[in-house]
Amino acid sequence: MYRMRSYTVGFCKIQLFVAAAGMAATLGGCSQVTVPMGSNNVDTPTVITGAISSSTDIAYSDVDEKDREIISQNLDLVAEHLDSGQAVDGLALPWLNAVSGNSGTLTEIDTNVFGETGCLFFKTTANTIAGIKLYSGTACRDVSRKFAVTALTVAGA
């Protein structure tokens, strides 16, 4: 017959493997590994594919929502010209976000599909803390007939 070796601690006998299991459980509870899976910040989305940079990610981080609102307000001026029958060819509209200090100029406003879709294509420069870049964008009218920037990407120079 096989007999296990036991040790005496005080008045109790503890088997060797029980002591080892207890130590492992005690030490295992002291260490943790936590990995954040997302962000609770709804204003700035978490870019899950951050390792694969794209021009869209750069445009979102450089030209924020307030800048896009100001660009949209300037494009509302273009819509007023279009609604009154005036041409907007060669029109350049400056924009400035007084809070962030970002600024730029809207140019190359393409109105070819405006009558059909209510959208405009445009290019804008943006002078931000990251430098001066050229962006291509799309803005469309919403239900209240106000423009909203729906797409913005870094344009090739």
> Which alpha helices (DSSP H) does the chain contain, by range?
16-30, 55-62, 65-83, 114-117
Average pLDDT over residues 95-123: 89
Higher confidence at residue 56 or residue 72? Answer: 72
Average pLDDT over residues 4-30: 55
- Helical (H) or strand (E) element with 118: none
Percent of the chain with pLDDT over 90: 22
Query: Within 10 Å of residue 51's Cβ, how many Cβ atoms?
Result: 6
Q: What pLDDT is stored for residue 13 in this prediction?
A: 55
Contact between 133 and 118 under an 8 Å Cβ cutoff? The reply is no
User: Which pTM does this prediction carry?
Assistant: 0.60
Flag whether pLDDT at 45 surpasses 60: no
**79-92: pLDDT as tens digits:** 887 777 777 778 88
Identify each DSSP E strand in 1-157 by its residue range: 6-9, 12-15, 93-96, 103-110, 119-128, 131-141, 147-154
